[in-house]
Structure 1
Amino acid sequence: MLVAAPASGQGKTTVAAALARLHARQGRRVRAFKCGPDFLDPHWLRLATGAPVHSLDLWMTGEADCRARLHAAAAESDLLIVEGVMGLFDGTPSAADLAQRFGLPVLAVIDAHAMAGTFGALAHGLQSFRPGLPWAGVLANRVAGERHADMLRGALREPADWLGALPRDAGFSLPERHLGLVAAHELGDAAERLDRVADSLAGTPLGSLQLPQVRFEPPSTGDVAPIAPLLAGRTIAIARDAAFSFIYPANLDTLNALGARLVFFSPLAGEALPDCDALWLPGGYPELHASTLARRSDLRAALAAHAAAGRPIWAECGGMMALFDEIAVPGDGDDAAVHALWGLLPGRVTLQKRLAGLGPQALALGAHTLRGHTFHYSRCETPLVPAVHSRRPQGTAGGEALYVRGPVRASYFHAWFASSPEATARLFDATPLETGAPVAQEHRVDA
C-alpha cells in the first residue's frame, strides 16, 4: 500500500507509521519505505517496523534500485507500506508515478476538518485524475465525531472506498519544527503516540483489510553491477547524534560495499574524533545544539589536525554548517545568538525563516555523477569560491555550491551514495577532487 494525500500536512506519516505498527503488533512482518528524499519521516516508520527504512525515488534512487529494494523486502515480509511525498501528484516523478510503476494500491489520507461533501469530490478526483492508478480507498483524518464521519462516508461515490476515520485528537499529532517532523528518538513517548493511533485504526477496515497481492519482479541482470572495493582498508569516521542525524541507511550500505570500515562518534556526547582515514559530517540540526558544539574546542583542534594531515572530510548541509567560523541563530527578538564553531571554512552561516534551498540535485565529480537533493533554511557568507555547483535534474543552474579547501569537501547537497559508488569513493579518498559538468547517470544496484 502507498499512503498518499492531496497535500503535505494531511497526516500521511502518522497513518503510515501507525498502520505499520498495528499490523506489526498483530504478528505480521512489515517493512516500510519513504517516497522521495527524507530523513525525518523514516524515523517514525522505523520505530513502527523495527527495520531500516529506505527511500524510493524514480529519479534520485532510480527505477532499478526501487525494484531491487521492493523485491528484497517482499521476500521477507507480509506487508509493505510506502509513505508518499507531498501531494499524490506533486513533483516529477510523483508518488502516483511510483504507485503506477510498481502496482502499489493507493490509500488517500484526507484532512477532513471543516469539510463535508467536498470530501467525496477530493476522493473521486484523487482516484480518477490519472487513469489506471491502483486504488485501495480513502481515510478521513481529524474527524469531529461519528456524525461527521457519517457525512464524509455518505459523500463518497463508492461506499467500498471508505476505509475509516481518525478523530481530531491532539494526542495523535506528531510534533514539527522547521525542517519537518521531530524525529521519533527525540520524544520519550514516541511509541505511545503511535500505539494510540494504531488502536484507533484497529477499529477501521484498515485493521483487517485484505489488500491485493502485488508481485515485485527481481531486478534484471543488466541492472545489477558489483561495487568495486575502492575504499578497502580505509576507516571512515561518521558523526552521529541529534546534531548530525541525516543519514540514509543505503549510504552506509554503499560505504560498506566499497570496503570501508565505519566508526561512529557523537560530538554532542563529548566523544573524541576516532582514528580514521576520512571523516563524514552528515546533515542534521547543528543550529539547535550550537552552544554545545561551540564548546568542543578539543574536537575543533582534532578536526584541524585531521585536515592538516591531508585526510578527507565530506561535510553535508548541517555538517558543513558546523565547519564555518560562526553560526548565527535567531532568538525570540530581532537579535541572533552567534556561536563560534569549528573554523575549517571561513565565513558565517545564518539561520533564517525563509526556505533557502529545496529540490533534487545532481553533482558531477569527474566522469561520475551523484544524485541527491537539498533542503535548508540557512545561508552562508564566505570568501571561498565554489569549485562547482550541483545542477537540477533538467540540467538547469541554481544548484548548491561545492566548497573545496584542501581535503575538506562541503556542500548543502545531500548525496545518495548508491547513485554512484565511484563518485562516493572520490569524496573519501585523499586524491584531489575532480569536478565537471553533470553527465548522464546510469543507476546501479549493489549486487
Structure 2
Amino acid sequence: MFSLHKTRGGVHPPQCKDVREYACTSVTPPERVRIPLNMHIGGPCTPCVKPGDHVYVGTLIGDGSGLYAPVHASVSGTVVSTDTEQLPTGATAPVVAIESDGKMENDPALAQPSYSTKEEFLDCVRASGAVGLGGAAFPTWFKMRAPEGKKFEFLIINGMECEPFITSDYRQMMEHAERVVDGVHRIATALEIPAAVIGIEDNKPEAIAKLTETVAAKGWSDLIDVMAIPTKYPAGGEKVLISATTGRDVPAGGLPVDVGCLVVNVTTASRIEQYFRYGMPLVTKTLTLAGDCVANPGNYRVPIGMSVRDIIEATGGLTKEPRKIIMGGPMMGRTLTSIDCPIIKANNAILCLDDQAVLPDETPCIRCGRCVRVCPLGLMPYALDSASRSHDVVALDELGIMNCMECGSCAYTCPAHRRITASIREGKGFYRSEVARLTQPAKGA
C-alpha cells in the first residue's frame, strides 16, 4: 500500500537509547499533584472543581470549548486550590492542586464509551482528553475532524521516536502491541480512512517485527502496513514522515489534511484504545528518565501533575548535581528553571545531564550553509537566526519563520555552535506579538 520515499536534510546524532530494554514501571503516586489546565494547543480549560471538593482518578477537573482537550484528576483526594499560576514554561494558566488520599480510587462514574457514528466517535476521543503525545499536544479529536471539502486518505501512525535518549514510545509498542494495532484499526474504521501505515525507524527492528506479526495475526494486513524507515533525525517530524511514507509534501503554512493525511502518535493511538476499552481518560504519562546524573534511569509511568522533583526522588534520586535538566529530548526539549515543574500530557522524557550538557561558546556565523543542507523543510536557518536576533519582522515573514518545526538539526550541525533553534523560537514569539499588534483594530476606529 505504501512505499518509501527519500526526504531532505536531517542529521545523525548519537542515539543514547540505553534504557530501551527497560520495561515501563509505575512510580509511587505523590502526596500532591498540580495539574495545569493548559496542557494542549488552544485555550486553557476552566476549572470544574473548587477547593474542598473530593475527586477520584478520572474525575473531570477542567473543561472548555473550541480548540481544547478536557483535563482529569490523576489521583483521588481533595482539591486544595484552583489558582492561576505562572508555570516554568512562562505560560499562565489555572492549576488544580489535589492532595492525595493515597487510595487511588477510580471515579465510579467512569464507563466504557460507545459510538455508532463518526461524530460520536470524535466526541468520545474528546472526552478521553487525548492530545498528541509525541510532544505537539494538539487536541486529537480536533485533528481528526476533516474540514469541509477535504477527506483523509491515509492514517499515518508515528512510531519513529527519533529523539536521542527517549524510548517511551518504543516500550509502548513492545509492551502493548495489540492495543496499538487495535487503536489504529479503530481510528481508521471509525473515520473511514482506507489505508493506514505505522512508521517506525529501522533502529527498532523488534518493534517492527512485533507490530507486523500483530497486524498479520488479526488479519488486517490489507488495511494496516508497518513500514521500516531509515534512521535519521528528524524523521519523526509530522511533515517529514508524511513525505517519507506517501511522497506528498505539505505546503508551507498548510496542514496534513491538505494532502489527505492524518498523523497520530503511536502512544496516542494506544491510549485512545485504552479509553474505549476501560473508560479511563488520559491521567498518566509514560516517560523516559535518563542522563548521566540519574541513579535509576528507565521508563516510568507517572500521574500527570506529579512534579519532576517527586519523580526523581521516587525513582532513587540523582548521583550528582546536574548542570541542566531538560523536559523532553536534547534536540527539541526545554531546559527547566525549576524541578517543581509538573509533568504534563506532552512530556515524554526528563533528562538530567552534567558532562553531556556542556556546550561550546558561540562564535560568529561563517555562512558555511550546513544548516541549510540539513533543514528538513528547506528553510534558511542562518538567515532566520540573524533576523530573529535583530527583530526584523519583515525578514522573518519573508523567510517563513512559522514553517520551522524547531527540530534543532541546524544548531546540531553548526560549526560555530550558534544557538539557532533557541534564537528562532524567540523569533517566533516576537513575530506573533508583532503580527497581533499590527493587525489589531486601531483604538477609536
Pick the TM interval, shorter chain: under 0.3
TM norm structure 2: 0.22
TM norm structure 1: 0.22
Higher relative contact order (CA 8 A, sep 6+): 2
Task: Name the one with the larger strand percent.
Answer: 1
